[in-house]
């Protein structure tokens, strides 16, 4: 019965739930979905992680490569993120070249990483002007059920935290490069940026903030990309993004900042526990 | 959106008044619309407007490897873009025949006529040369795109200055504009393309507007071409012909081409003189360090324009001290409230951690459709 | 007292200049300069579009951002996305189902705050085109400089050294936030202060809109 109701009155169905202070999947407004995180999941990648936030599933793998730094910035390495939204992750995407949404989300993710300054690109340089690491971070979404940016950031950060760079010796005269894969040093990661998405739903008299929205909720609250994303790293905000959708009042902003603070702590704990767990498993 | 079609009455009206010696906007046959050139703040960027037609041109440069067959020559690249801004019938990111045609004409006029000293763009033979790229963007399509974009290309090339370089051994140092004065591009001659619309195989209209262009290339309702067409003449200031292109009907009277060339010779001299004059005056302005910016295009005498000097805000009900104290109070409250987290972090499988909501099953809410019907 | 003086100095917007109906072929067009930053926007629509991109619920908004030179990049897609999402909230798209509205933006000069200039210019062009709108919006950029002070509409050299750059877009009806995007790191307090300041500054842009509309409305 509810299914038919949803089909006939999509908007009313949703407002009926919201006005009863509950979301269609039974969560409270400020409740997030369960997160499952697995690190070092792919054996072909140098570092990897799989994360499930509710149904949203994202895989991240990091490949290493050596390259010469740019002439303008001789002491910086590269961190390249690439987000793929294949047709299998949502019926909204078509196979073919990356969609606009994939490009924009990728830009957001790499923007958050640069703004949070969690990776110092100078750490990736081996010999200035000659040799530097390139981190190719490939993020693939297997199932997009909302809050994509959050999941991408968790997967990416968990992978970066587990990444160990092999030691490299470079001979200045012969330009000979020797890579020793047995001696590895972990990459320095400063802090841990965490993104929290909110969907803003407008009731006639007030704004409702839905934490960690699912794809269906995003759809009802102004479509893809209208989420309000708060990103923080070590107590500092490193990006608040909102593109269109319903308007955001200032008191809901306060609320969102508070929720994101709580969530940041929880997510941090998840990543740390997961890595600790992994280390125990290896040893 | 599909192409705009002209109605038959528009067509026949225009043809009639042209045969009677008039034009739609009251010009003479060989009179051109007002030409206006304005520069941007960077070297090599200009907006040229010819009547309502507006074209933006921007020259940029980068150091690249030369082509193998010409190891000591720089590269000139011309790119024309017609976005939906020009007119609604153009689609975004799609090449039309017009774009290709325009691009080819400009290449013929500026690349093949060898007006630019490409050898002076060479830095290290076979290794490093300057590559100039001219981006021509059509802002408004009011007819005679060819002439307008050709003037824009010429002006931006003549206005452009590339950064100076010094070679020391193997390395090449590129100086910024602040460090060393930039170098202007060397132009041997200044070619310009001019368009003439031919009506009934004997009337020549210089600088045709959008509607004149569409009428002269279209055929009558019986499908017979009326002997109209577009003739493009490329000529430099020395009255040397660089380019000739005919679009439309076959001409049976070769005198008309001759007539067009004679009138193009005068016009090209006029245009080139104007371009040179305006570049010199722009240069002296820049030397006086006065700011030149595209913002100057906006004229305040226009009815639909508005200027406002610096806007200052009066501070009302706003105090920084208030603000911080309020937030501090907020934080204190937060600390007190900080309740135990609602979520558990559970290390489950090897390498895996989970966040599980502490509260067990959530309550179900039944929305019965009966109650809805009752309302 | 000294504090207050300092604050009021910061509260200054760059001079604005604009001209509507700049292009004759578009349904609505505007050239806007905020200080030395200049952009041209043309709006065409509602018009016929191909059936694959039609929507039966509302008009499809297409935004095209053209740089001055060079090839299109991912950053342009991002700007297009920002502008499209913002316009979509402002336009009453449900009045024009199965049609398309095309917005084309051409940058002319970038001396800081280009994206907010583009957004304001787009709003004026939409007003000029006569498309029905739910509200108008105003974008303000501010930067947090090295010492932690907030500067409204920073010039380009200040943007390069700034700790963070934030842009906020407010709507005219509820005066609440429509769009925001930030770069760099900043504390929550700075964020809130920046929000409040840009909010105050947005009123000036709204009054600029009102002035231009009342200027030409008398004649028409």
Q: Where are the domains of chain C?
A: 15-217
Across the interface, do B347 and A36 touch by the CB < 8 Å criterion?
no
Would the CB atoms of C66 and B88 count as touching at under 8 Å?
Answer: no
- Does the pLDDT of residue B263 top 70, yes or no? yes
Mean of the per-residue pLDDT values for chain B?
79
> Does C68 touch chain B if contact means CB atoms closer than 8 Å?
yes
Q: Indicate yes or no: CB of C181 within 8 angstroms of CB of A236.
A: no
Nearest CA in chain A to C62: A100
Question: Within 10 Å of residue B87's Cβ, how many Cβ atoms?
Answer: 22
From the candidates B355, B357, B358, which should be mutated to test the interface with A, based on the most A CB atoms within 10 A? B355
- Tally of CB atoms within 10 A around C120: 28
Angle at A117 between CA A116 and CA A123, to 5 degrees: 155
Q: Check if A245 contacts C (Cβ < 8 Å).
A: yes
Q: What is the pLDDT of residues C127-175, one digit of tens each?
A: 989 899 999 999 999 998 888 888 888 888 888 888 889 999 999 988 8
Scan residues 234-263 of A and list those with Cβ closer than 8 Å to B: 254, 258, 262
Pairing of strands A78-84, A131-143: parallel
- Chain centroid to Cα A124, Å, comes to 21
Q: Which two tokens stand for residue B93?
A: 């990111």
Please report the pLDDT score of residue B306 as a whole number: 67
Query: For C188, which residue in chain B has the nearest alpha carbon?
Result: B327
B310: chain C residues, CB-CB within 8 Å: 12-15
Contact between chains at C24 and B140 (C-beta distance less than 8 A): yes
Distance of alpha carbon A188 from the chain centroid: 19
Would you call A111 and C183 a contact, using CB atoms and an 8 Å cutoff? yes
Residue A12's closest chain B neighbor by CA?
Answer: B372
pLDDT digits (tens, 9 = 90+) for C65-77: 999 876 778 888 8
Confidence of residue B179 (pLDDT cuts 50, 70, 90): confident
- Cβ distance of C16 and B311 shorter than 8 Å: yes
* pLDDT for the residue numbered B308: 63
B97 contact C CB<8A: no
Residues in chain C: 220
A116·C78 Cβ contact <8 A: no
* Total residues found in chain A within this entry: 283
Residue ranges in chain A whose pLDDT is less than 70: 225, 283
Find the DSSP H helices in chain C: 2-10, 74-90, 114-129, 156-161, 188-217
Distance between B374 CA and the closest CA of chain A, angstroms: 15
DSSP of B315-346: --S--HHHHHHHHHHHHHHHHHH-PPPSEEEE
Task: Determine whether the interchain pair A277/B351 forms a contact, defined as Cβ–Cβ distance below 8 Å.
Answer: yes
CB C169 within 8 A of CB C138: yes
Tens-level pLDDT at each residue, chain C (220 residues)? 333 334 444 567 888 888 888 888 899 999 998 888 999 999 998 888 888 888 888 899 999 999 987 677 888 888 999 999 899 889 998 999 999 999 999 999 888 889 999 999 999 999 989 899 999 999 999 998 888 888 888 888 888 888 889 999 999 988 888 898 888 888 888 888 888 888 888 888 998 898 888 887 776 6
Count Cβ–Cβ pairs < 8 Å, chain A vs chain B: 78
pLDDT recorded at residue A85: 92
CB contact under 8 Å between C74 and A106, yes or no, is yes
Task: Enumerate domains of chain B plus CATH numbers.
Answer: 8-189+270-297 (3.30.230.70)
- Which chain C residues are within 8 Å of A100, Cβ to Cβ? 77, 80-81
* Exposure string over B128-165, b if 16+ CB within 10 A, otherwise e: bbbbbbbbbbbbbbbbbbbbbbbbbbbbbbbbbbbbeb
pLDDT of B336: 35
Smallest CA–CA distance from A101 into chain C, residue: C81
All structural domains of chain A, each given as residue ranges with its CATH number in brackets, are 29-282 (3.30.230.70)
pLDDT at B331 over 60: no
What distance in Å separates the CA atoms of residue C62 and residue B92, rounded to the nearest whole number? 9
Nearest in space to C135 (alpha carbons), one of C198, C73, C206: C206
A247: nearest CA partner in chain C: C178
Which pairing describes strands B53-64 and B128-140: parallel, antiparallel, or unpaired? antiparallel
CB contact under 8 A, B372 and A5: yes
Look up the CATH superfamily of C15-217. Answer: GHMP Kinase, N-terminal domain (3.30.230.70)
């Amino acid at each position: 019965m509810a299914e038919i109701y949803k089909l006939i009155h999509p908007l009313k169905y949703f407002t009926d739930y919201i006005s009863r202070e509950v979301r269609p999947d039974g969560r409270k407004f400020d409740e997030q979905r369960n997160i499952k995180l697995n690190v070092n999941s792919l054996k072909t990648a140098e570092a990897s992680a799989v994360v499930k936030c509710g149904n949203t599933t994202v895989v991240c793998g990091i490949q290493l490569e050596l390259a010469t730094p740019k002439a303008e910035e001789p002491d910086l390495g590269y961190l390249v993120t690439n987000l793929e939204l294949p047709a299998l992750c949502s019926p909204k995407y078509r196979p073919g070249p990356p969609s606009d949404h994939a490009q924009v989300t990728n830009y957001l993710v790499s923007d958050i990483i640069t703004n949070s300054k969690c990776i110092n690109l100078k750490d990736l340089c081996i010999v200035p002007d000659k040799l530097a690491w390139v981190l190719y971070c490939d993020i693939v979404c297997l199932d997009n059920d909302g809050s994509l940016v959050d999941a991408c950031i968790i997967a990416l950060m968990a992978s970066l935290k587990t990444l160990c760079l092999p030691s490299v010796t470079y001979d200045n005269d012969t330009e000979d490069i020797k890579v020793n894969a047995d001696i590895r040093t972990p990459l320095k990661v400063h802090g841990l940026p965490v993104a929290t998405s909110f969907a803003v739903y407008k009731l006639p008299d007030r704004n409702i903030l839905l934490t960690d929205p699912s794809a269906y909720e995003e759809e009802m609250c102004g479509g893809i990309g209208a989420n309000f994303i708060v990103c923080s790293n070590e107590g500092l905000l490193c990006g608040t993004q909102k593109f269109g959708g319903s308007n955001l009042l200032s008191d809901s902003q306060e609320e969102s900042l508070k929720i994101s603070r709580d969530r940041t702590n929880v997510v941090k704990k998840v990543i740390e526990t997961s890595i600790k767990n992994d280390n125990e498993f290896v040893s | 959106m599909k192409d705009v079609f002209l109605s038959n009455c528009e067509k026949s009206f225009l043809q009639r008044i042209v045969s009677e010696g008039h034009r739609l906007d009251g010009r003479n046959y060989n009179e051109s619309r007002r030409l206006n050139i304005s520069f941007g703040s960077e070297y090599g960027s200009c907006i040229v407007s010819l009547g309502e037609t507006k074209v933006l041109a921007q020259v940029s440069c980068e150091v690249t490897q030369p082509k193998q067959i010409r190891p000591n020559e720089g590269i000139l690249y011309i790119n024309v873009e017609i976005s939906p801004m020009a007119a609604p019938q153009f689609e975004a990111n799609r090449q039309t025949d017009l774009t290709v045609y325009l691009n080819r004409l400009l290449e013929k006029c500026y690349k093949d006529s060898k007006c630019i000293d490409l050898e002076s763009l060479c830095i290290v033979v076979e290794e490093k040369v300057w590559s100039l790229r001219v981006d021509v963007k059509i802002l408004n399509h009011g007819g005679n795109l060819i002439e307008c974009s050709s003037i824009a290309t010429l002006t931006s090339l003549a206005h452009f200055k590339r950064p100076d370089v010094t070679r020391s051994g193997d390395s090449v140092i590129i100086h910024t504009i602040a460090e060393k004065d930039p170098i202007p591009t060397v132009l041997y001659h200044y070619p310009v393309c001019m368009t003439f619309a031919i009506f009934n195989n004997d009337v020549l209209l210089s600088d045709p507007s959008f509607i004149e262009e569409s009428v002269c290339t279209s055929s009558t309702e019986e499908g017979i071409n009326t002997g109209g067409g577009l003739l493009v003449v490329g000529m430099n200031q020395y009255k040397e012909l660089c380019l000739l292109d005919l679009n439309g009907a076959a001409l049976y009277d070769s005198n008309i081409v001759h007539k067009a060339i004679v009138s193009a010779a005068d016009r090209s001299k006029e245009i080139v003189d104007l371009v040179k004059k305006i570049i010199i005056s722009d240069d002296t302005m820049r030397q006086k360090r006065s700011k030149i910016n595209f913002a100057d295009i906006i004229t305040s005498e226009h009815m639909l324009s508005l200027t406002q000097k610096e806007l200052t805000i009066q501070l009302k009900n706003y105090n920084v001290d208030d603000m911080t104290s309020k937030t501090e109070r907020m934080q204190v409250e937060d600390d007190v409230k900080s309740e135990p987290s609602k979520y558990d972090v559970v290390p489950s499988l090897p390498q895996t951690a989970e966040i599980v909501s502490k509260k067990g099953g959530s309550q179900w809410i039944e929305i019965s459709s009966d109650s809805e019907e009752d309302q | 007292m000294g504090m207050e003086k300092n604050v009021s100095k910061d509260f200054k917007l760059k001079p604005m200049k604009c001209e509507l109906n700049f292009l004759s072929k578009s349904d609505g067009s505007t050239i806007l300069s905020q200080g030395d930053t200049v952009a041209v926007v043309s709006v065409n629509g509602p018009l016929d579009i191909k059936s694959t991109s039609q929507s039966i619920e509302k008009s499809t908004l297409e935004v095209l951002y053209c740089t001055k030179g060079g090839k299109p990049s991912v950053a342009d897609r991002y700007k297009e996305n920002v502008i499209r999402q913002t316009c979509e909230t402002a336009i009453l798209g449900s009045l024009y189902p199965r049609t398309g509205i095309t917005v084309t933006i051409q940058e002319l000069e970038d001396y800081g705050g280009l994206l907010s200039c583009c957004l304001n210019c787009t709003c004026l062009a939409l007003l000029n085109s006569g498309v029905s709108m739910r509200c108008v919006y105003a974008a303000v950029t501010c930067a947090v400089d090295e010492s932690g002070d907030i500067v409204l509409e920073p010039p380009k050299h200040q943007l390069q050294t700034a700790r963070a750059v934030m842009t906020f877009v407010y709507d005219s009806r509820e005066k609440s936030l429509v769009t925001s995007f930030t770069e760099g790191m900043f504390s929550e307090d700075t964020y809130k202060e920046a929000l409040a300041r840009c909010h105050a500054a947005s009123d000036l842009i709204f009054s600029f809109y009102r002035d231009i509309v009342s200027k030409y409305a008398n004649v028409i």
